[in-house]
Amino acid sequence: MKAKGASGGRWIRGARGVAAALLVAVLVPAGACGRLDGGDNVAVFAAASLRDVLSEIAALPGTPPFDLHLAGSEVLLQQQRSGAPVDLLIMARHLDRDELAALPEPGGGVVVARNRLVVAVHAEAADRPADLDDLLADPAMSSLALADPVTAPAGRHARAALQAQGAWDALQSRCVWAADVRAACTWVAVGEVEAVVCYATDVEALPDLALAFPLEGASAPYEAHVVARSGRRATASALRDVIGGPAAAAVFARHGFLPGDARSDDGAPTGEAGSADKATGADEAGPAGEAGR
């Protein structure tokens, strides 16, 4: 069933029941067993696009045990503001000064990785647009899945990049909104939608997706913050050091992420991100987007 969305596109609900679990935040134990509301494990609230890489980092030697709660970044930030027991918050965008005021470090968070946005289609699709002009001109590309810009930085990145390239007005009526970027990918995987704006790492991770073309100028910084009220700040800081360290960097790279190599001091972009080989087919660099899963 399709329902009209407030952003000018559509929300798809109940698509064959396959994607329903991706429309809500999930709790995934990582490392030793523990509870989000107590125990010794660090409670990590992270952007949904980090599901696979953080699960692998959990198994690295010396990684403090943590419980992993996944959702769109804006949902995570709202949960943190509402008093959820968050120790370490990993957003797919920079936090601004007001948002940083609720966190313990005036120097900002550590950018542990970056990600590029691309347009992808089903792996068996007969039509594979080469660029935005092809996408706009192809009558077979009648719908485009995006993460909701209100709740997911990936949607903000996508919207900003499409606006910058003058394609937003023409594409907006084709847009189908999902709660997060993995949910948007699922619409393509189950054949409900022809194309999706997703992360390069989603194309790497999901066999039902194939790259169409990179979305020029759109990337997301993954910024890790220890939360001020955490009762496990020392352990959370140690975990953040592991996630931002060389062993974890190798894991990020294997999953198609770009290096972070930066610390944010006021929520402003801290550099440019290049392309992942599979996702872009080139080594060009592109500026970080306005906000980004």
Look up the pTM and report it. 0.67
Residue 263 lies in a domain: yes
CATH of the domain at 242: 3.40.190.10
Residue 284 lies in a domain: no
Residue 289 lies in a domain: no
Cα–Cα dist 249/258, whole Å? 9
Cα–Cα dist 98/225, whole Å? 14
Q: What is the pLDDT of residue 169?
A: 94
**In a shared domain, residues 17 and 121:** yes
**In a shared domain, residues 259 and 195:** no
- Considering only CA atoms, which of 260, 247, 254 is closest in space to residue 278? 254
**In a shared domain, residues 213 and 230:** no
Q: What is the pLDDT of residue 16?
A: 33
Question: Which of 192, 218, 244 is at the close of a domain?
Answer: 218
Q: How far is CA 249 from the centre of its chain?
A: 17
**In a shared domain, residues 9 and 130:** yes
Residue numbers of the domain that contains 143: 2-21+115-218
pLDDT tens digits along 40-95 = 899 999 988 898 899 999 999 999 999 999 887 778 888 887 888 889 999 888 77
Three-state secondary structure of the chain: CEEECCCCCEEECCCCCCCHHHHCCEEEEECCCCECCECCCEEEEEEHHHHHHHHHHCCCCCCCCEEEEEECHHHHHHHHHCCCCCCEEEECCCCCHHHHCCCCCCCCCEEEEEEEEEEEEECCCCCCCCCHHHHHHCCCCCCEEEECCCCCHHHHHHHHHHHHCCCHHHHHHHEEEECCHHHHHHHHHCCCCCEEEEEHHHHHHCCCEEEEEEEEEEEEEEEEEECCCCCCHHHHHHHHHHHCCHHHHHHHHHCCCEEEEEECCCCCCCCEEECCHHHHCCCCEEECCCCCC
Residue 138 lies in a domain: yes
**In a shared domain, residues 146 and 191:** yes
Alpha-carbon distances, residue 248 vs 28, 54, 223 (angstroms):
19, 9, 14
**In a shared domain, residues 92 and 31:** yes
Q: What is the pLDDT of residue 101?
A: 62
Residue 103 lies in a domain: yes
Residue 109 lies in a domain: yes
pLDDT tens digits along 89-137 = 998 887 766 666 666 554 568 899 999 989 999 999 988 999 999 999 9
Residue 178 lies in a domain: yes
Cα–Cα dist 6/123, whole Å? 30
**In a shared domain, residues 35 and 62:** yes
**In a shared domain, residues 211 and 225:** no
Q: What is the pLDDT of residue 91?
A: 86
**In a shared domain, residues 14 and 120:** yes
**In a shared domain, residues 16 and 55:** no
**In a shared domain, residues 16 and 153:** yes
Residue 28 lies in a domain: yes
Rounded to whole angstroms, the maximal C-alpha distance in the chain is 55
pLDDT tens digits along 146-200 = 998 887 888 888 898 899 999 999 999 999 999 888 899 999 999 999 999 999 9
**In a shared domain, residues 122 and 212:** yes
pLDDT tens digits along 205-232 = 899 999 999 988 777 889 998 887 888 9
Total domains in the chain come to 2
